[in-house]
Amino acid sequence: MSGRNHQGIGMTSQRTRDRLIRRLRQQGIQNDQVLDVMRRVPRHLFVDEALAHRAYEDTALPIGYGQTISQPFIVAHMTQLLLEDGNANSVLEIGTGCGYQTAVLAKLFPQVYSVERIEALYQQAKQRLAELELYNVQLRYTDGTEGWPNLSYRFDRIIMTAACTEIPEALIAQLNDGGIMVLPFDNGIDQTMTKITRGRNGLVYEALEKVAFVPLLPGLN
Q: What are residue 152's phi and psi, to 5 degrees?
A: -95, -10
- The backbone region for 85, taken as left when phi is positive above 0, alpha when psi lies in -120 to 50, beta otherwise, is left
Site for ligand SAH (CB under 6 A): which residue of 144, 147, 179, 184?
Answer: 144
**Distance of closest approach, residue 4 Cβ to ligand SAH, in angstroms:** 17
Distance CA 74, CA 174 (A): 24
Which of residues 94, 112, 181, 182 is near ligand SAH by CB under 6 A?
A: 94
2 flagged as catalytic: no
Q: Is 31 helix (H, G, I), strand (E, B) or coil?
A: coil
User: What is the footprint of ligand SAH within residues 146-175 (CB under 6 A)?
Assistant: 161-162
**Which position among 13, 70, 114, 152 bears the catalytic label?**
70
Which listed range, 22-30, 48-56, 178-186, 209-217, lies at the site for ligand SAH (CB under 6 A)?
Answer: 209-217
Please say which residue, 138 or 178, places its beta carbon nearer to ligand SAH. 138
Q: Which residues contact 2 (CB under 8 A, 6 or more apart)?
A: 131
* Beta pairing, strands 155-160 & 175-186: parallel
Rounded Cα distance between 136 and 157, Å, is 15
User: H or E segment at 197?
Assistant: strand 191-199
Among positions 73, 100, 109, 155, the unique one binding ligand SAH when judged by CB under 6 A? 100
CB of 32 to ligand SAH, least distance (A): 22
Closest contact distance (angstroms) between CB of 221 and ligand SAH is 7
Residues annotated as catalytic are 70
